[in-house]
Structure 1
């Protein structure tokens, strides 16, 4: 089967979705040596484009490229099987697999830009119903796709995220001293404001809260006021993998108070670096973290602060979660996930 990978993810900043695409693409290139990668011209991850030997096609960029230039190229080249790894895909092309990481835009549209919600509400159900395979990242997300989009569950294949190769940590945390770490795009569903509120309610014992991720418009005046009330809240912004590895390695604990996730890579990264974790008591994170995390109610600042204090003051509990975390990450492998994708594609021709 002639297989093309939609590599538009190489034009996008790195978040969990792009991380999935990059790591799966690396494995697919090994498993299917003849696979081809195509992308628009505005690539920002040039070393990966060289690794994938990406073919630049079309003159457009972004969504327009994906909806016009990409399907034109495919139809001119015999309608090969297209693999899309980052939610979106051409709406007028049927011989493809799509990867739908979650349906948060349907569950909680208020979290997103209105134009984004309108577009995704139009696009995603149509490409999901037309695609030959729908990949998603957890059994929870599969159930949500069935519930909100109504497609046949037999067409949906669960492909977990994996653990990327561990970077050598660069210790950049001297200025932070003792700190709690959280990682993720700063947006409403990541629940950063409630985390800050919980942190501000705790006794000031010389511990800092370090937040890694891009700041979005969610941090309006309310967020700024919270930041002013406690100088121990540190916004580190976006950091590279080596610096992030250092932050995971030296944190007292990692906390992930997200309101909604399809999967949630950061808690697994924390476990890989031996950092005990606290996560929201939501179905997707319970599926991913199993018994290796302390669970809190993300809607309650009191629950969050109590969870932090419990893990901070109980060394036995911390060590227990470190050990369980190391065991838990063994369940997740990019190689295994890519093999499941290949097997799903191959089964179409059986």
Structure 2
């Protein structure tokens, strides 16, 4: 990478709510900082001390963002970048109208699957997301599925849209030593919103009617989404779970189910395969790219989706267990989806801008 390049990263998501953008940026920055020749990089955040502790890379500069709100913050970035000698800015989805930038696009689901998103989010993606994508020196997509969706919608030259595949949520040692717990439980992880199909999973779990199996759902309910689990002692909804507890839940799960109707990547699904958990997943969007032939699929939008998923769940705990990924398959997953490769792909994309 050219030594003349100084990268400025809009990292306000690092101190916001937990979501895929936060996990992706945190892990990518750690991998960039762990290189023998880390790039010249400035991390712009409202809380530099917290961001520095989360990333753990002393080689980066952590720059305080003024508390201006989302719109004024974006408008202020060109001034900040000129002040600090930044060559190219890196943003999530939406970027300033001035200056040279790369934009991370985790998905364009508000446009391809609008029924799952509120009007404001659809308009924001249609107007401001489109402007950022069309103006970007390079678009960074977290999956080949998202890259293909961006290319199809915006008709950009293929070299301007690069895949920077996500890596896992946890450090490699976390994925060793998984052993199903007793009593047995099914695990689901992710934000709870309409497209995640948590209600479908609950309906299928109850239809499977397994008296000695619990369902553990880990995730916070999105604002504006009306959701409440049924009064069933076998269903355990948890939010604000610490990393160590979440790793323990993955390690002890007898089955992982990821019924989401639409994903730009699907980090929890990748994690489940790396932990070696037997898994059932939706066959939609990026999920087959992430899990390949390691999981059992179903169509969450089919008329008989609840019945099909219930049968798969019951079969796993009965006469038709779903095989877990073996050691060789898990190694192949870890090699394909790793943050070191993501950092290489990111720097190659920036250097080719």
TM range (shorter): 0.7 to 0.9
TM-superposed CA distance for 1:113, in Å, is 3.1
Alignment partners' CA distance in 2, 1:323 and 1:41: 41
Which string of whole-angstrom CA distances, capped at 9 and with x for unpartnered residues, describes residues 110-141 of structure 1? 32233232222211110101010001011111
Is 2:264 aligned against 1:258? Answer: no
- Distance change >3 Å, CA 244–CA 50, structure 1 → 2: closer
Structure 2 residue aligned with 1:338, among 332, 338, 343? Answer: 343
Look up the match of 2:142: 137
Alignment partners' CA distance in 2, 1:167 and 1:62: 39
Alignment partners' CA distance in 2, 1:26 and 1:159: 15
Look up the match of 2:75: 68
TM-superposed CA distance for 1:61, in Å, is 4.0
Look up the match of 1:239: 241
TM-superposed CA distance for 1:38, in Å, is 1.8
Residue 82 of structure 1: SS of its match in structure 2?
Answer: strand
TM-superposed CA distance for 1:108, in Å, is 2.4
TM-superposed CA distance for 1:151, in Å, is 2.7
Unaligned runs of 5+ in 1: none
Which string of whole-angstrom CA distances, capped at 9 and with x for unpartnered residues, describes residues 138-178 of structure 1? 11111211233333332100111112304659x9x999821
Look up the match of 2:197: 191
Is 2:79 aligned against 1:82? Answer: no
Which string of whole-angstrom CA distances, capped at 9 and with x for unpartnered residues, describes residues 273-294 of structure 1? 2212111112411111011111
Look up the match of 2:251: 249
Please report the TM-score for the alignment, with normalisation by the length of structure 1: 0.87
TM-superposed CA distance for 1:321, in Å, is 6.1
Alignment partners' CA distance in 1, 2:76 and 2:49: 16
Contact 2:186 2:253 in 1 (8 A): yes
The total of aligned residue pairs comes to 340
Is 2:62 aligned against 1:55? Answer: yes
TM-superposed CA distance for 1:41, in Å, is 4.3
- Distance change >3 Å, CA 90–CA 290, structure 1 → 2: same
Which string of whole-angstrom CA distances, capped at 9 and with x for unpartnered residues, describes residues 28-50 of structure 1? 23343422222234875451266
Aligned residues: CA RMSD: 2.7
Contact 1:293 1:325 in 2 (8 A): no
Please report the TM-score for the alignment, with normalisation by the length of structure 2: 0.87
Look up the match of 2:11: 7
- Distance change >3 Å, CA 309–CA 54, structure 1 → 2: farther
Q: Which has more helix, going by share of residues?
A: 1
Look up the match of 1:206: 212
Residue 35 of structure 1: SS of its match in structure 2?
Answer: strand
